[in-house]
Amino acid sequence: MSAPSIRARVRAEMIGEIKAVARRHLATDGANLSLRAVARDMGMVSSAIYRYFPSRDELLTALILEAYDALGDAVEAADAAADPRDLRGRWHAACRAARGWALAHPAEYALLYGTPVPGYAAPDDTVGPAQRPPLTLVGILRDGLAAGAITPPPAEELPAPVRADLAELAEAFFPGLPEALLARGMAGWTQLFGLISFELFGRINRSMAHRDAYFDHQIRLMADLVGLPARPQVPSEE
C-alpha cells in the first residue's frame, strides 16, 4: 500500500506540472511570469493555482530553488568528472559547466543572478544551494593546497578586517584554508559570474564573435590569478 494516497500523488504531479509549465513560460516570456497564463496553459482557472502555491512569489521561489540545484549539480558533476589531480582541468570544467548551464537556461539564470525582484526576499533555504558553485571552485583550491600544487599567497596582503571576515568564512566551510587563497577563489567566482552575465545580458555580443574562446581565455587568466599550476599535458583543447 502506497503511503501517499491517490490524492497526494496527483497533487504532487500537479505541483510538478505547474512548475514545468511555469519554467516553459519563463523561458519564452522572460522574468515576468504570469500566473494566469500558466493556469490557462493547464486548462485551469487562475485561482486554482493557489491550491498549490500560496502566491506567485512562492512559485518563483520553488523555481529558483530547482534552478540553484540544477546549476550546482552541473558544476559539481563537471568537477567530479575531471581528473582530481588536474586542478586546471577541474577549474575549467566547473566554469564551463556553469556557463553551459546558463546559456541553456538563460531565463532561470537571470532569475538567480539578475536584478532581485523588488518585493521579493530570498528565503533562507536558497542560500545553501546558492553556495554550491563557489564552494566547488574554492574546493579545487583547497585540494591543490593539500597536494602542495598551490602555494598560498601571503596573508599580509589582506587588510586586517577583510582577513577576519574571510577567516570566519573559511572556518565555516574550509577550516584551515588561508584567507588570501579564499579571497582569490572568491575573485574567480566573481569573475565567472561577471563573464556569464555580460554574455547573457548582451553586453559582449556586439564586439566578440568567438565567445567560447573568449570565455576560456578569461577563465584561464583567473586560473593564473588564483595560482593554479600549469597543466602537465598540452593545454590546448577544443
Verify binding: residue 169, a copy of itself, rule CB under 8 A: yes
Distance separating alpha carbons of residues 43 and 25, to the nearest angstrom: 15
- Considering the complex, state which of residue 6 and residue 234 has its C-beta at the smaller distance from DNA: 6
The only residue of 21, 44, 62, 117 in contact with DNA, by rule CB under 7 A: 44
- Considering the complex, state which of residue 57 and residue 165 has its C-beta at the smaller distance from DNA: 57
Verify binding: residue 201, a copy of itself, rule CB under 8 A: yes
Tell which positions 11-70 bind a copy of itself, by CB under 8 A. Answer: 29-32
Tell which positions 115-144 bind a copy of itself, by CB under 8 A. Answer: 115-119, 122, 127, 130
- Considering the complex, state which of residue 53 and residue 101 has its C-beta at the smaller distance from DNA: 53
Verify binding: residue 34, DNA, rule CB under 7 A: yes
The footprint of DNA (CB under 7 A) covers 5-8, 11, 14, 33-37, 43-48, 50-52, 54-57
The footprint of a copy of itself (CB under 8 A) covers 29-32, 110, 113-119, 122, 127, 130, 157-159, 161-162, 164-165, 168-169, 183-184, 186-187, 190-191, 193-195, 197-198, 201-203, 206-210, 213-214, 216-218, 220-222, 224-225
